[in-house]
Amino acid sequence: MMGAGESVSSVTASTPEMTTIHAGYQGEAVKSPSLSRAFVLPTCAAALAASLTAAFPAASAQGTESGQRATAGGAQTGAATPQGGRGRGGGVFPETEPDDSSGFVSIFDGKSLSGWDGDTRYWRVENGEIVGETTPDKVVTQNNFLIWRGGTVRDFELKVEFRMNGTNSGIQYRSTELPQLGKWVLKGYQADIDFTQGYLGNVHDERGRAPAGDGHVVLSRRGEVTRIVEGPKYKVVGTIGDRTLLRGVMNVNGWNQYHIIARGPVLMQLINGQLMAVALDEDAKHFTAEGLLGFQMHVGPPFKIQYRNVLLRKL
C-alpha cells in the first residue's frame, strides 16, 4: 500500500521494439524518452525483487537458504525434487497402492456348505461357488438366508464376489434370527444387490425399522452419506455421486466384488472399488453392534445368485 504523495509508475508497450515509461505525481504525467524492451523489463524485474527483499527480509533469506539446500540436495542425489514436494520418504502425498486382502480369512472352503446353514432346496456348492437358485418348481415365498455359523460379526470388513442373472439378493450383516417368522429368516443391515440396479448399493434394513414403524427401509441410498436418527426423517450429510450414474459400476451378468466396512455406527459399502453408500446409524433404539452374516434368497421370479471368495477381517 502506498502513502499520499508517493509516485506511481507503469510500463506501457508501444511497439514490439519500443517501450515508454510514464511517471505520475498526484495525477501529473511526465513522459520519458523511449527505451528498448530489452532494457526496461530486466530493470523493472530487478526493482521489484529489491522492493520485495526490503519489505520481507526474513522470508527472502529463508527462501534463499531453502533454495541453496534444494540445489545441494539435487547435486548430491543427481535428481530433481518432484513437483509439489512429493519426493520419496515424505511430502504431503505419501505413496499409495491398491488395497489387498492382508488380514482377511476365507470363511468358505470352496467345496461344501460346511459352516453355513440354509435351505438346501435353494443353496448348493458348485465349481467352487456358493449357488443360490430358484426355479418355477422351487419358488421362494418368503425371503430367507444362507447363514454363516462360524460366529458373529461386530466391527469387520467383508469382501465377496457375486454374480446374478435376475431378481434381487443381498448380504446380511449384524443380523438376528426371527424364528417366529420361519427358519433362516433374518433382520438387520443388508448390502443390497439388485439385477435391475434399482436398489444396488443401498444400505438396507431388512425387517428392521422404518420412519413410521417397523418394516423394510433403505437407511442410505446409493450415492449418499446418510445420518440415521430416530425419525421421522433421516439426514443426508453429503453425496458420493449421481445415483443413476453409479448404477454403471455393476458388471451385469459378470462377476463383481462387494466390500463392506462396519466400524461402530459407520457402515460403508463399496462395489468394484467404488464407494456406493454410507450410513451413520445414530438411532440408539435400532442400532445393532453385532450379529449374524448371511446371503439372501429373495422372493420373485426364478433367478440364480453366485458367491465366491468370501473373505472376512474382524477389526
DSSP string, 162-227: EEESSSEEEEEEEEEE-TTT-TT-EEEEEEEEETTSSSTT-EEEETS--TTSSS-EEEE-TTEEEE
- pLDDT of 7 above 50: no
Note the residue count of the chain. Answer: 315
**Which DSSP helix (H) or strand (E) runs through 67?**
helix 57-77
* pLDDT for 30: 40
Give CA–CA dist 217/278, Å, rounded: 15
User: Residue 9 pLDDT > 50, yes or no?
Assistant: no
| pLDDT computed for residue 232 by the predictor | 81
Share of the chain above pLDDT 90, in %: 67
Residue 183 has pLDDT above 70, yes or no: yes
Q: How far apart are CA 185 and CA 142, in angstroms?
A: 8
Q: Averaged over 77-103, what is the pLDDT?
A: 72
Q: Write out the three cell numbers for 308.
A: 465366491
User: pLDDT for 189-220, tens place per residue?
Assistant: 999 999 999 999 999 999 988 765 667 899 99
CATH number, span 106-314: 2.60.120.560
In this predicted model, what pLDDT tens digit does every residue of 226-278 receive, in sequence order? 999 987 899 999 999 999 999 999 999 999 999 999 999 999 999 999 999 99
Helix (H) or strand (E) holding 76: helix 57-77
**Domain locations in the chain?**
8-70, 106-314
Query: Could you tell me the pTM of the whole model?
Result: 0.72
186-194 β-sheet, strand order: 116-117, 144-148, 292-297, 168-177, 186-194, 203-206, 217-220
Query: Distance (Å, rounded) from C-alpha 281 to C-alpha 234?
Result: 10
Chain segment 121-166, per-residue pLDDT in tens: 999 999 999 999 999 999 999 999 999 999 999 999 999 999 999 9
- Angle made by CA atoms 163, 165, 171, in degrees to the nearest 5: 45
